[in-house]
Amino acid sequence: MVHAVLQQSVAGFYADLVTRPTGRAVRENIERDLPPGSIAVMDFTGVGCLDYSCADEIVAKLVREKVKVLLLRGLTDAHREAIEPVLAGAGLAVLYERPDGALEGLGASEPAPALLDELVERRLAARNPGGSIRLTAA
């Protein structure tokens, strides 16, 4: 849970992921337990405001430097609006789980299909008859 990591990473009780120093502290906390090239899930439930700097510092840098596939869940529309342009501008993409469980790409359109394929190949996700891709019960 990103919200829980935020509470560990900054002094005071804040629900917002804003400022680069905060983003850096949260990312470094997450990275500690994350082997390079891994598939990671980040849950944004409980996070209030996410600004562009923090979106870059956490999401874009994890994708650029650390993880192979990053799956985001618990995103609000406002979170997506912060993350999408940051990733798209850098040619990066993540996956996000919609409230109905379907997985979609977020960010640059080109890398997203490969991310979905990676999850399907590893049997972490499966294509449904309707065409959507959802996580398998793990």
Partner 1 sequence: MTRLIEVPTQFDDRSFDQFAAAYAQAVDGGGERLLFDAHAAEWASPYGLVGLLAAGEAAARKGERPLLTAPANPDVVSYWARAGFFREAADLFEVHGKVPKVKVAVESEVLLPVTPVRAAEDVHAVVSTIQQRASAILSSELGLDPKATMGFAMALSESCQNIVEHAGTGGWVAVQAYNWRRKLARRVVVIAVADAGVGFRHSLEPTQAKRFGERWGDAAALEAALIQGVSRFRDPGRGQGLAGIRRYLARWEGKVAIRSGTARIAIVPRWDDDVPLKDGLPAFPGSQVLLIIPEQASEKGPGGAGGPSQQ
Distances, alpha carbon 100 to alpha carbons 39, 56, 60, 130, in Å: 21, 26, 25, 13
Record the tokens describing residue 97, joined without a space. Answer: 């789980």
Size of the site for partner 1 (CB under 8 A): 32
| Rounded (10°) CA dihedral 53, 35, 11, 81 | 30
Number of helices (H) and strands (E) in the chain: give both, helices first: 6, 6
E strand segments, 9-135: 38-43, 67-73, 93-97, 103-107, 125-127, 133-135
Beta pairing class for 67-73 and 38-43? parallel
Q: Which stretch binds partner 1 (CB under 8 A): 9-17, 36-44, 99-107, 109-117?
A: 9-17
Does residue 22 touch partner 1 according to CB under 8 A? Answer: yes
Among 3, 7, 19, 66, binds partner 1 (CB under 8 A): 19
- Establish if 27 lies at the interface with partner 1 (CB under 8 A): no
Query: Is residue 97 at the binding interface for partner 1, with CB under 8 A as the rule?
Result: no
Rounded to a whole number of angstroms, the minimum distance from the CB of residue 119 to partner 1 is: 25
- The span of 32-40, 57-65, 94-102, 104-112 binding partner 1 (CB under 8 A) equals 57-65
CB 119 within 8 A of CB 133: yes
Of residues 7, 16, 28, 134, which one binds partner 1 by CB under 8 A?
Answer: 16
Site residues (CB under 8 A) for partner 1? 10-12, 14-16, 18-22, 48-53, 55-57, 60-61, 64, 76-78, 81-82, 85-86, 89-90
